A = this chain, B = another copy of it.
Amino acid sequence: MSFQNPVFIPGPTNIPDSIRKACDMPTLDHRSPAFARLFRPAVEGVRRVLKMAEGEVVLIPSTGTGGWESAISNTLSPGDTVLAARFGMFSHRWIDLCQRHGLNVRVIDSPWGEGAPLAAIEAALRADAEGTIKAVLATHNETATGVKSDIAGIRRALDAAGHPAMLFVDGVSSIASMPFDFADWGVDIAVAGSQKGFMLPAGLAIIGISPKAIAATKTARLPRTFFDFGDMLTSYAGGGYPYTPAVGLIAGLAHAIDLLEAEGLDNVHARHTRLAEGVRRAVLAWGMTPFAASPDLYSDTVTAVRVPPGCNGTELVQLAAAKYGVAFGVGLGEVAGKVFRIGHLGMLTEAMVLSGLAVAEMCMADLGWPVKLGSGVAAAQEFYRGSVPALALAAE
């Protein structure tokens, strides 16, 4: 594995040089006013990226998994019921976490490759006249299958059913790369991680919380201390932090948001769509298809490529790493071997994506897959040529 090559895993992403520098800072006294001066812009920036109109942001030194745990342990009590669809490894894991913490999860199983089943969710909510369901969990972007779900649609389902459940969204692999609208979608808790669209190293869970979710913390009886929202918000109000914060990641987050906003959030989203579309053109040129069941489900941050019959995606990933020093993602769980995954999120360029496609093609040829060298690259080149805005790339 050479650090000279970009990575094409669906996170952690390639870290821009200036973000690495922002994170790499000398020790700063987190009990001094200097900390508050550094912290506030990060929190305010997250609020803008999530498009929050009200509510609070907390930053916890952990990961997306910690963010999931914080969402439920702060707002729910043992035995509470939540509704969740399962259609990939990461939706599966959040459900598993809920069960370990003593929640009753009503699981709607959908085929992997599908997104959140809106009709079934609405039906389940309508059937819950007594309001047993306290929260609906939704995986905005299922990283395992490269599928995005319609969070606005889930909000509509809740509204159509007139159901008061909270809406918790796992946006770990979507937020800051794909459009997200906390306010408009009526999200109650959004969970993001530092190492995806925010382009930072792993180590920070980034969480948006609605007033309704904050209210729920008052009565929630699941135990928590490290993840306690109340401690966080009380400390933040005084310019502090309940324990030792990950100062470098917080400084990096503020800088990452500066970069995102300098490019323009809409432009960032459009760039992800453009880069993803080039990858998809390559996949089709290879005679393969994205694993996502239909184009409206295509994720703009990761493409799970369904490999030809008789081929094994995991072999490609291993060969790419061992022979060419390039990292792709393997298929996880029930799609192990059936797909390989190309991450295309974070501060990526056309040149970088093309090198990933070129390496994937060499691996396919090496493994005897029926693919013509250069074919996917050419399809992506053709698309990028026509779509890349001149001078789009600032000297980051």
Q: How far is the CA of A381 from the CA of B375 in the complex (A)?
A: 11
Q: Mark A379-396, 1 if CB is under 8 A from B, else 0.
A: 001101100101111111
A223 at the interface (CB under 8 A from B): yes
Give the residue of B2, B6, B245, B388 whose beta carbon is less than 8 angstroms from that of A396.
B2
CB distance from A224 to the nearest CB of B (A): 7
**The 4 nearest A-B residue pairs measured at CB:** A374-B378, A374-B374, A355-B355, A29-B327
A349 touches B324 (CB 8 A): yes
CB distance from A182 to the nearest CB of B (A): 23
CB distance from A258 to the nearest CB of B (A): 15
A377 at the interface (CB under 8 A from B): yes
Which B residue's beta carbon lies closest to that of A222?
Answer: B223
Q: How far is the CA of A6 from the CA of B27 in the complex (A)?
A: 8
Q: Mark A15-43, 1 if CB is under 8 A from B, else 0.
A: 11100110111111111111001000000
Most B C-beta atoms less than 10 A away, residue of A97, A246, A365: A246
Give the residue of B1, B4, B27, B248 whose beta carbon is less than 8 angstroms from that of A34.
B1
B323 touches A391 (CB 8 A): yes
Which B residue's beta carbon lies closest to that of A11?
Answer: B244
Which B residue's beta carbon lies closest to that of A98?
Answer: B225
A49 at the interface (CB under 8 A from B): no
A359 at the interface (CB under 8 A from B): yes
Evaluate whether A246 and B66 lie within 8 angstroms (CB atoms) in the complex, with A354-B354, A395-B2, A395-B3 already known: no
Give the residue of B202, B203, B249, B388 whose beta carbon is less than 8 angstroms from that of A324.
B388
CB distance from A63 to the nearest CB of B (A): 5
A348 at the interface (CB under 8 A from B): yes
A351 touches B225 (CB 8 A): no
Q: Mark A205-226, 1 if CB is under 8 A from B, else 0.
A: 0000000000000000011111
A192 at the interface (CB under 8 A from B): no
Which residues from chain B contact A11 at a C-beta distance below 8 Å? 244
CB distance from A194 to the nearest CB of B (A): 9
Q: Mark A65-99, 1 if CB is under 8 A from B, else 0.
A: 11011000100000000000000000000001100
A193 at the interface (CB under 8 A from B): yes
Which B residue's beta carbon lies closest to that of A16?
Answer: B4
Q: Mark A300-323, 1 if CB is under 8 A from B, else 0.
A: 000000000000000000000111
